[in-house]
Structure formats: C-alpha cells, structure tokens
Structure 1
C-alpha cells in the first residue's frame, strides 16, 4: 500500500495516516490547552471578589470602593457635602459608581486577555 501510484499524483498513501495522527495529536493538545485555560479563567474569576478598585467624583468628595466582581464594598461621602442638595449628592454617587464599575470591568478584561494570550501563543502554526 505504500507503493506510489500514478493515479494519486505519485503520492504515497502511508503519509495520509501520518498526517491524520499528527492532526489528532494537535487536536488533543488544543483540547488540553483549552481545559487549562478554562480552569485558569475560572480561578481568576473567583479571585475577582478579592480585587478592589475605587473611583471618586466631585474632586474626591464621593468615593466608591468596589470589588472586581462588581460588588460595591463602600461609599464614602465627605462631610463637605452636608449642605448640598440631594440631587447633587445623587449625581456624584452615580458618577463615581459608573467609573468604579468601568474600572472593574477593564481590570477583568485585562486579566482575561493575559490568560488568553498565554494559551493562544502556545497553539502550533497549522500552516493555513
């Protein structure tokens, strides 16, 4: 069967099974890397509850502290706002909250990208 045949363009049939074995090995490596990446991302997501970000509004009179799993941990309002009307305080809280949520999302994306790049860089070049 390893004999070259003119109808197949002079190609040996034995190389086809070798290529299939190589492809299967590559697929197994890719699946293994995918599982490792998935596990690392899950661990990272679990650690987000311990990572804190903070944001301020109104020159620091309102400060919001949140975890990267998007939980507000603390709201600190300066006594300087004691005389301000409710709507002003509310606007400052909203601004600081939006900023802290954006920071948490950005940090999560950065960490996820680091993990993805780590594993995607390991993939072999398939020559496509």
Structure 2
C-alpha cells in the first residue's frame, strides 16, 4: 500500500512546490503593481501597491483649509482606504487565477 502512495505523494509535493514558487513570483510582481484612488474631486490622491502599502500620497494646495482640517483628514482617509481596498481586490483577482478560484486562507 505504501508503495502505491509514494509516486502520488511525490507528484503532489512537486505541484505544491510549483504553486509556492508561482505564489512567490506573484507576490514580487504584485509588490511592483500599483492602484490609485482619489477623493474630493482629485484634490487628494493615494497610491498603494499589491502589498497593501501606501506608496504615494498627494494633496493639492486647494485641499488645505486651516479652518477645516477635519475635511482634509476625511479626504485622506477616504483616498487611502479606497486605494488599499483596490489593492486587496487586485491581489484577490490574481490569486484567484493561480488557485483556480479556491480560497486558501493565509496565503495573502
């Protein structure tokens, strides 16, 4: 019985190793890809990468009103959270291609 499982186990291990290598390549690639989100009609722009890291935040001077700092804070939060959401969606879409739609917890 054990000898029957040996070749299948080796084949499965090779498939797992191949998937791990592909996932590492994809993580590297996604780290270099970015998504962008804006708020306030474009006065605040946030850019995030596929590692859910904020890589750029631009605030146009007209967004800065010393009398209404709270609005600027809200615009920043909106843009950043939207960029991070888009980043997660991008990663999920790419992982779906790799895993054939299987949701494997803990991969990303």
TM-score normalised by L of structure 2: 0.80
Alignment equivalent of 2:15, drawn from 3, 13, 33 = 33
Q: Which residue of 1 aligns with 2:26?
A: 44
- Secondary structure of 2:14's counterpart equals helix
- Structure 2 gap segments, 5+ residues each: 103-108
CA positional deviation for 1:82: 3.1
Q: Does 1:55 align with 2:5?
A: no
Q: Which residue of 1 aligns with 2:82?
A: 99
Q: Does 1:117 align with 2:100?
A: yes
Task: Map 1:3-14 to 2 at 5 A.
Answer: none
Flag as ranges the 4+ runs of structure 1 deviating above 4 A.
none
- Secondary structure of 1:59's counterpart equals helix
Is the 2:36–2:45 contact (alpha carbons within 8 Å) kept by the matching residues of 1? yes
Q: CA RMSD for the aligned pairs?
A: 2.2
Is the 2:51–2:87 contact (alpha carbons within 8 Å) kept by the matching residues of 1? yes
Is the 2:37–2:47 contact (alpha carbons within 8 Å) kept by the matching residues of 1? yes
Alignment equivalent of 1:74, drawn from 52, 56, 60 = 56
- Secondary structure of 2:58's counterpart equals strand
